[in-house]
């Protein structure tokens, strides 16, 4: 079945450590996105990519990094520079010619101990 797979679902990290969240899609979508969600809050855009080897910062990119080496994959690294990394991270994608509907993965919950 086509979809977006995020891993891991739960992740614990010590302060000062970098961590990479995986996002893979088999929908043949060109554009991919990373959002952060805090309790009781909406989604905030971290980074997005519309094409391989190209990506743009969203509203809260500081302390995060991404890469887009393959169309199917858009990993997010939460660096030690991110001051408050504990959150629920959501990856999404949309296809060329799409109406704008986003398809989301099931999310990764990161907790910094």
Partner 1 sequence: SQQGEEDPQALSIQEGENATMNCSYKTSINNLQWYRQNSGRGLVHLILIRSNEREKHSGRLRVTLDTSKKSSSLLITASRAADTASYFCATDASSGYSTLTFGKGTMLLVSP
Please, which residue, 12 or 17, has the CB nearer to partner 1?
12
> If binding means CB under 8 A, how many residues of this protein chain bind partner 1?
30
Residue 35, beta-bridge partner list: 45, 90
- Residue 80 φ/ψ, nearest 5 degrees: -70, -15
Considering only 11, 27, 30, 80, the residue that binds partner 1 (CB under 8 A) is 30
Q: Based on the shown chain and the rule CB under 8 A, indicate whether residue 107 belongs to the binding site for partner 1.
A: yes
Pairing of strands 10-13, 108-112: parallel
Using CB under 8 A as the binding rule, whether residue 102 contacts partner 1 is answered as: yes
DSSP code of residue 63: T
Is-contact 23 8, C-beta < 8 A? no
Residue 20 Cβ vs partner 1, minimum distance, rounded to whole Å: 19
The enclosing H or E element of 92 equals strand 87-94
Query: C-beta of 16: minimal distance to partner 1 in Å?
Result: 27
Residues near partner 1 (CB under 8 A): 4, 6, 30-31, 35, 40-45, 48, 50, 58-59, 88, 90, 92, 94, 98-107, 109
């Amino acid at each position: 079945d086509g979809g977006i797979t995020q891993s891991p679902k739960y992740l614990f990290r010590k302060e000062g450590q970098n961590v990479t969240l995986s996002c893979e899609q088999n929908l043949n979508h060109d554009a991919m996105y990373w959002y952060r969600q805090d309790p009781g809050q909406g989604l905030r855009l971290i980074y997005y990519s519309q094409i391989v080897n190209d990506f743009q910062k969203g509203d809260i990119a500081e302390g995060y990094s991404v890469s887009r080496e393959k169309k199917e994959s858009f990993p997010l690294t939460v660096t030690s520079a991110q001051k408050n990394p504990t959150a629920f991270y959501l990856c999404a994608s949309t296809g060329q010619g799409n109406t704008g509907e986003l398809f989301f993965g099931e999310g990764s919950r990161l907790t910094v101990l």
